[in-house]
Amino acid sequence: GDSVTQMEGPVTLSEEAFLTINCTYTATGYPSLFWYVQYPGEGLQLLLKATKADDKGSNKGFEATYRKETTSFHLEKGSVQVSDSAVYFCALKLSGGSNYKLTFGKGTLLTVNP
């Protein structure tokens, strides 16, 4: 079945460090790919998305490129801030009729220290 695999956390970085969180997927069709973020005490918020191969999603300094050849959607940020501390979830959604659900990875806890 469809699945998402994220790098295990937790990830601890110093402020202004470079961030990469790896995400790979297995899907039977052509999925859309998402990164959601969960700040402490809040719900899942969409961070960015990409709907087809080679698309790059970006938001708040974060980027991820849909790589069909490697079935990956790695999240990157050039310089993290303390306020980026959160849990990050990679997810996919198949396109087409009767496909409603998001399939999530386990989440990666990021802690950024000043």
Partner 1 sequence: EPEVTQTPSHQVTQMGQEVILRCVPISNHLYFYWYRQILGQKVEFLVSFYNNEISEKSEIFDDQFSVERPDGSNFTLKIRSTKLEDSAMYFCASSTIYTDTQYFGPGTRLTVL
Minimal distance in Å, beta carbon 70 to partner 1?
21
- Residue 108 within binding range of partner 1, rule CB under 8 A: no
Among 10, 69, 70, 100, binds partner 1 (CB under 8 A): 100
Maximum separation of any 2 CA atoms in the chain, in Å: 46
Cβ-proximal residues to 23 (8 Å cutoff; 6+ apart), any chain:
4, 5, 6, 7, 33, 35, 64, 72, 73, 74, 75, 90, 105
Query: Which one among 49, 50, 64, 74 touches partner 1, defined by CB under 8 A?
Result: 49
Q: Which positions touch partner 1 (CB under 8 A)? A: 4, 34, 36, 41-46, 49, 89, 91, 95, 98-107
